[in-house]
């Protein structure tokens, strides 16, 4: 059974066993506008918490995806290289960015659940 959590940077994380799938929320993609380019991390690379692991560019702006925890990227969604718009169409499904294993998954539980994230974005305006 998988569990989904959210960050204040508008990323979603889905824990399934010991694998965490990372993407951006519907709120994030709607504010970015149409995505035109995504630079994904390399699989098997390890990153520290907060390090930029992916770059996204839209018709409005550019930004990055930060590593949520110390860990290793195990798989990337290479389909996004040719079709970044999939993130706009299905941000919580086919629009995932990468999968990772975390050095310690206990911090995952401290992230916002769906209700807390809904409250958070309601306060964003």
The residue segments making up the domain with residue 95 are: 3-104+112-124
Query: Residue 123: helix, strand or coil by DSSP?
Result: helix
Residue 120: CB partners within 8 Å, gap ≥ 6?
Answer: 6, 8, 112
pLDDT in tens, 38-52: 999 999 999 999 999
Q: What is the CATH number of the domain that holds 39?
A: 2.40.50.100
Q: How many domains does the chain have?
A: 1
- The structure tokens listed for 92 are 């919580």
pTM: predicted TM-score of the whole model, two decimal places = 0.93
pLDDT in tens, 41-94: 999 999 999 999 999 999 989 999 999 999 999 999 999 999 999 999 999 999
β-strand partners of 6: 12, 112
């Amino acid at each position: 059974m998988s569990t989904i959590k959210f960050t204040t940077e508008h990323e979603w994380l889905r824990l399934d066993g010991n694998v965490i799938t990372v993407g951006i929320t519907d709120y994030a993609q709607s504010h970015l506008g149409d995505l035109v380019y995504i630079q994904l991390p390399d699989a098997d690379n390890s990153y520290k918490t907060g390090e930029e692991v992916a770059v996204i560019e839209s018709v409005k702006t550019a930004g990055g995806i930060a590593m949520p925890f110390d860990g290793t990227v195990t798989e990337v969604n290479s389909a996004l290289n040719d079709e970044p718009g999939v993130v706009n169409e299905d941000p919580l499904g086919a629009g995932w960015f990468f999968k990772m294993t975390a050095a310690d998954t206990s911090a995952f539980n401290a992230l916002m659940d769906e209700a807390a994230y809904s409250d958070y974005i309601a306060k964003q305006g």
